[in-house]
Structure 1
Amino acid sequence: MNSKALEDVTVLDLSHLLQGPFATQLLADLGATVIKVERPGQGDLFRTLTFNNRWLGGTESPNFLAWNRNKRSLALDLKATQAREVIYKLVEKADIVVENFRPGVLDRLGFGYEDLKRINPRIIYCSGSGYGDSGPYLKRPGQDMLIQGLTGLAAATGRGDGPPVPVGAGFSDQVGAMNIVYGALAALYWRERSGVGQHIKVNLLAGMLAHQGQEMLMAMNFETDFERPNSGIGHPGMDAPFGVYPTKDGWVTVAMSPYSRLVGVLGDDSLLRYDNPKDLFEKRDEIWARLAERTATWNTEELMNALLAVDIWCGEVKTHLQAEQDPQVQHLGAISYYDHPIAGRVKVVAPAVSFSATPAEITRPAPLVGQHSREILAEYGFSEDTVNALIDSGTVAQSS
């Protein structure tokens, strides 16, 4: 038996930025061999983008390093004539191809599903896009924040007296990555029974709608949009006390909990007059303000202890650095690291799924552009002279 769940699976990763690379990283964490095909020189566009104008090791993008561990890099100019020879050779042995180019780009280059299916009928070809491969938005850019705006997520987030607020992470892209993985794994299982591959299509627009299933169902069936509260109520469809509340030294969250029990902890019986379904929704901003006056007199730790003692669903609000040090995060081993040749030791979030027999593992740092070009081509039968010729022509590049 293999020591990793996907140890005998080879993935040809033609993707860039977040959606595709996160999907292939998830597969790589489970043992898949992932060959990341990048442009010579610049590589994945995420290598040139970063947050806060900060670069690890002076040159390495945290954004790229986050989504590309456990892969090898082949720097290949897909527009070069000889690129077809290389890709077609890799596809002969590949199980999964992942790409998130704009629809039609790879077809024009000869690397579309129909092209690769002729070479390997067992290939599972996963296409990630913003809006699908047809329709009125076909030529629009499909970026994460744009999708959050289009699908109602931003309009449902934030306070009613302020602007819509996108989620503070690449949520649409990450949902898209999960959909690619679930599609690819289902297709692998089907291939075991049928012997043939298929084309998996994932788009961010449909993905974000699906992941707001309860909100969409509510709005569509009652023909009423949610109205954001003006307070810290945590969801536009929820009543009080569901929300975020201030303390002397921070913030706490309170989820679905008996209102009277919360009032009992805070010690203001006058608040019980709101304890009916009509007021808890219609007067939720007013109730939030009254509750916040009381929570603000407590330290976070003291309030948490008092709420947990009576089984109120609650939690502290933490920054990313505070989350790293959280005792449960530490207990789970949810933070790991890898050693990178330029960036040095890089702290990362560990794989989130636990397997009893085939655990996910971090075995490689994110690669340099073309770091494994020679190694990969040699494995696929290209002679040293051929590899040298490909490098000399600029079709292939290797890191120095």
Structure 2
Amino acid sequence: MDKALSGVRILDFSHLLQGPFATQLLADMGADVIKIERAGPGDLFRSMTFFAKWVGGSESPNFLAWNRNKRSIALNLKSRAVHAIIMRMAKDADVVVQNFRPGVMARLGYGYEDFRAANPRIIYCSGSGYGEEGPYLERPGQDMLIQGLVGLATNTGRGDGPPVPAGSGMADQIGAMNMVYGILSALYYREKTGKGQKIEVNLLAGMLAHLGQEYCAVLNLGEDFVRPNSGIGHPGMQAPFGIYETSDHRYVSIAMSPFKTLYETLEAPGLAVYDDLSTLFAKRDEVWAHVNAETRKFAMEDLLERLLAADIWCAPVQDIRQASEDPQVTHMGMIQSYEHPKAGTVRVVGPAVRMSETPPAIDRPAPMVGEHGREILAEFGYSAEEIDALETSGDMTIERV
């Protein structure tokens, strides 16, 4: 069955998280993503891992998470012979994606103007930390740095502790979504006009956009966020919005719910003295402490059953392993797997979007370095002898099992 993006070919020079996640999302939808890696070591994410451990003894979970459904070719981008090959590939490509520091690709001869000269319809998407000009141009643009810069870390954690970054690469992943948003918009525009274009995405702008309500509040209400010392879940929110402990030392999150309904459900009428919006904000740490004392009278499952029966917005607080086994996650089939030639069975999070006519799917494992180099070059008309010569020269490498 054709997928929504079948027939779209992407030359993917990106590495680490932002670009690879974007191209994986497009690959899940059927795009032919040709991952162009460095000859030899390949994508830098192949050498990074969590827990100082490797899947199957050798493979990075970080790389395996963001590179399924792609084919890999590993080339020496500084080689003029390779430059000629890539420009030949560009003539039959729709999209180029890269997230090197600004200027790197252009210096190697792979900037937007280089690709546009080879193919005027090309869509060229660049990802960076801070954009392609301005006072931060030379700074490293990394996820945690951006979280601190824009105020997300300062908004997170308890007031009596330091700022806390999110436990995931939020800036990179939002940047990936913005890449996809831009690429799909550009493909639609090209369908109408025949014109390609350059797209610029950066982590700083992406995080600013996704903190839109926080910026709107601060810039228009004359207030600055101050983190509460309790488990209130947002520095701008009143109680009871937050996370609460249960008798079995687990936790539940309670979101926007009528406070009267909550204290009646908890059988805690003494909390009625706080039932006023201004009071719930001004004394939110105090309210949180009283509500937490009440939730600690119940085991988590009993508390959830009671709160849900009263239509109070709540959920268990789980770790990743618990969430992967959650009945709703299981029902949605979100934890999937693929077979990798070196890592074996790799369990991953599947596509998050469902489509009735062109459902996304995992069809390929994350590739080994340059695994598909020979087949890709053959598709572009190179002979076996020419491919052999390129590999012998060291301008192309292929990792074999």
TM-score range, shorter chain: over 0.9
Q: Superposition pairs for residues 166-315 of structure 1, below 5 Å?
A: 166-249=165-248, 250-315=250-315
Higher mean alpha-carbon deviation, 389-398 vs 104-113, is at 389-398
Structure 2 partner of 1:361: 361
Partner of 2:113: 114
Measure, in 1, the Cα distance between the counterparts of 2:383 and 2:389: 10
Query: Superposed, which structure 2 residues align to 1:1-400 within 5 Å?
Result: 3-249=2-248, 250-400=250-400
Within 2, Cα distance between the matches of 1:382 and 1:153? 50
Paired residue secondary structure (2:91) = helix
Distance between the aligned counterparts of 1:399 and 1:294, measured in 2? Answer: 59
Q: TM-score, normalised by structure 1?
A: 0.99
Q: CA deviation at 1:224?
A: 2.4
Partner AA of 2:74 in structure 1: A
Point out 4+ residue stretches in structure 1 off by more than 4 angstroms.
Answer: none
For each residue in 1:216-236, what CA deviation from the matched residue of structure 2 results, as whole angstroms up to 9, or x when unmatched? 111111232200000000000
**1: CA distance, partners of 2:224 / 2:278:** 19
Q: Percent identity between the aligned chains? A: 61
Q: Deviations over 1:330-352 (max 9, x none)?
A: 11111110000011000010100
Instruction: In structure 2, give the amino acid aligned to 1:153.
Output: L
How far is the alpha carbon of 1:165 from its aligned partner? 0.5
State the AA in 1 paired with 2:214: E
1:187 partner letter: A
Q: CA deviation at 1:398?
A: 1.3
Distance, in Å, in 2 between the alignment partners of 1:277 and 1:67 is 44
Provide the aligned length of Structure 1 versus Structure 2.
399
Paired residue secondary structure (2:154): helix
One-letter amino acid of the counterpart of residue 255, structure 2: A
Q: Summarize deviations over 1:273-301 as a string: whole Å, max 9, x none.
A: 00011110000000000110110111000
Per-residue CA deviation, residues 316-367 of structure 1 (Å, 9 max, x unaligned), is 0011000011000011111110000011000010100000000001000000
CA–CA separation in structure 1 for the residues paired with 2:281 and 2:87: 60
Cα root mean square deviation, aligned: 0.7
Matches of 2:217 and 2:348, distance apart in 1: 37
Q: C-alpha offsets along residues 13-45 of structure 1, whole Å, 9 cap, x if unaligned?
A: 000000000000000000000000111121100
Task: Out of 80-89 and 56-65, give the one that drifted further.
Answer: 80-89
Q: Which runs of 5+ in 1 are unaligned?
A: none
Query: Which amino acid is the alignment partner of residue 162 of structure 1?
Result: G
Structure 2: how far apart are the matches of 1:133 and 1:79?
A: 22
SS at match of 2:289: helix
1:54 shift after superposition = 1.2
Question: C-alpha displacement at 1:136, in angstroms?
Answer: 0.7
Mapped to 1, the partners of 2:336 and 2:268 lie a distance apart of 45
Deviation of 1:81 after TM superposition, in Å, equals 1.9
> Counterpart of 2:196 in structure 1: which amino acid?
G
